[in-house]
Amino acid sequence: MPVHLAINNGTPVRTRPWPVWPQPARGALGALERVLHSGRWAISGPYRGAESAERRFARTFAAYNGVAHCVPAASGTASLMLALEACGVGVGDEVIAPGLSWVASASTIVGVNAVPVLVDIDPATLCLDPAAVEAAITPATRAIVVVHLYSAVADLDALRGVADRHGLPLIEDCAQAHGAEHRGRKVGSVGDIGTFSMQHSKVLTSGEGGAAITDSAALARRMEHLRADGRCYPAAAPAPGHMELVETGELMGSNRCLSEFQAAVLVEQLRELDEQNALRRRNALLLNELLAEQGLRPQDSSPGTTSRTYYVYAAALPDDALTDVPIAAVTGALTAELGFPISPAYAPLHTNRLYAPASRRRFALGDEHEKRIDPGRFHLPVCERLTRRLITFHHAALLGDESDVRDIATAVAKVLRHRGELRA
């Protein structure tokens, strides 16, 4: 009997279930119960004579990353906005960011009334190209934001060098790289500030949440004020029943605080992060070998990488295969074979429907500003070329065993072998 692709009513490669994400840490339920009965559900609630879960997470996460300070926040987006404003970014300033990333990499810059300058990516790592960054710097440039995308660590040696030569702060967006390392240092600790997302899909999650880390006491204090309506923690705890946040009048902020429930969950999830990262890494290395045998090119990481984190696994199709088939048709066929979502890469930000500042009046700060924030003004050929060839999937599929990895490779081989069905 002829073999057909599952998308054409053939038998799929796999029908067994896949690992589910998020996976609650062993201590998560107890941590939630303790907060529930603590009488304090937020840092803006009264002090009860014990360290808040938020302060405990901040202390633990700072130590994990080898830095002096951590400021938790409501989301990765909030964390990145805190970082930008703490570095003095504001109206009309240019901020260099990669053209391939989640939409928040650009929308947060616009959100502080600055101007995103989107630059092209390194074709091997899919992260910010240092040469493109250097070429994009102007007198209006105020900061560089580098994203460690999918499962790669960007070239921090070169990017730190560019930032230092031009006297610019380097902000590391580590939303997809919790626990990754560059030359033995955790990502987020090389730049002036590192930001993280703890949204549902991330390898360290509390459903929603974020954090910013830094070695600078001054930057940390600014971010504390920015995330809590201009308030910060005092040097000494107050009497029980009183507020633990003090109104200093130093800097106006907004409410971007993490709840006590989220912070308590993150303390427990962090205990299991390294073990889960190691499992994903082992499975990804095997998958790299299996897919390379079929001519695919798994995403690479920069030479300084000493430990990778796999948030999204990404690989480019062989140069000579399925060149006349839309990438969405390829990923749709793989999804049908595996019963697990295989997706194209993010759309480049200058063509991404989610990044549309003209759709919101708050960014209409004059004709000149609107022209500067128009994403259509950018030309990013590497982003455009690579995203037509990339397949990606979520890290949950790497939390199983070797048989799961081999199922993925088998599905890819089947789709390549029966590519004629997709053309038809």
Q: Per the domain annotation, does 9 fall within a domain? A: no
Q: In terms of Cα–Cα distance, which of 404, 405, 414 is closest to 17?
A: 404
Is 221 within a domain? yes
- What is the per-residue pLDDT for 1? 45
Pairing of strands 115-119, 170-173: unpaired
Half-sphere exposure of 79 (CA within 13 A, CB side): 29
**Which residue range is the domain that position 241 belongs to?**
27-271
**Residue 255 resides in a domain:** yes
Indicate the pTM of the whole model: 0.97
96: domain CATH number is 3.40.640.10
The verdict on residue 257 lying in a domain is yes
Residue 172: strand pairing partners: 146, 194
122 lies in some domain: yes
- Per-residue model confidence as pLDDT tens for the chain (424 residues): 467 999 999 999 999 999 999 999 999 999 999 999 999 999 999 999 999 999 999 999 999 999 999 999 999 999 999 999 999 999 999 999 999 999 999 999 999 999 999 999 999 999 999 999 999 999 999 999 999 999 999 999 999 999 999 999 999 999 999 999 999 999 999 999 999 999 999 999 999 999 999 999 999 999 999 999 999 999 999 999 999 999 999 999 999 999 999 999 999 999 999 999 999 999 999 999 999 999 999 999 999 999 999 999 999 999 999 999 999 999 999 999 999 999 999 999 999 999 999 999 999 999 999 999 999 999 999 999 999 999 999 999 999 999 999 999 999 999 999 999 998 6
Is 373 among the domain residues? Answer: no
Q: What is the reported pLDDT for 11?
A: 96
Considering the domain boundaries, does residue 361 fall inside one? Answer: no
Residues 114, 188, 265, 270, Cα dihedral to 10°: 170
Domain count, the chain: 1
pLDDT at 423: 81
Q: What is the per-residue pLDDT for 3?
A: 72
Length reported for the chain: 424
Structural domain includes residue 16: no
Identify whether 186 is a catalytic site residue: no
